[in-house]
Amino acid sequence: MENEIRKIPKKSKIIILILTLLAIMSFLVITYLKELKIKGILNSLGYTQISSVKVINKLSVEDKDTKRKGTVYKVLFFNNKTNQECIGFLHKDESNKYFEDFDCK
């Protein structure tokens, strides 16, 4: 009994390549837009001269007592004004107000 190996058709290889490239491009665009959004929020909170903004994590949270939902971003950025690297949390509550908790070193 001999096993027969079938090759993947050229058309299927092209479709797989296109889908892979689309997935990579969409990931990069979403990451860029998320970092741009966080940079705008940090500017409104008083962090005007910042660079190297990275969103490490995004979590949906709910207050146990009030049952209100919110979002918490874990953010890493470099503050050019004070030459410090800051890491911490940016909390968005149900009324779209932002609160920060950063540790700069």
Q: Identify the DSSP state of 38.
A: H
Read off the pLDDT of residues 30-51 as tens digits, 9 standing for 90 and up.
989 988 999 999 998 888 889 8
* 47-85 b/e (C-beta count within 10 Å ≥ 16 → b): beebeebebeeeeeeeeeeeeeebebbebebbbeeeeee
**DSSP, res 49:** S
Report d(CA 33, CA 46) in Å as an integer.
20
- State pTM to two decimals: 0.73
Enclosing H/E stretch for 40:
helix 10-44
Position 1 pLDDT exceeds 80: no
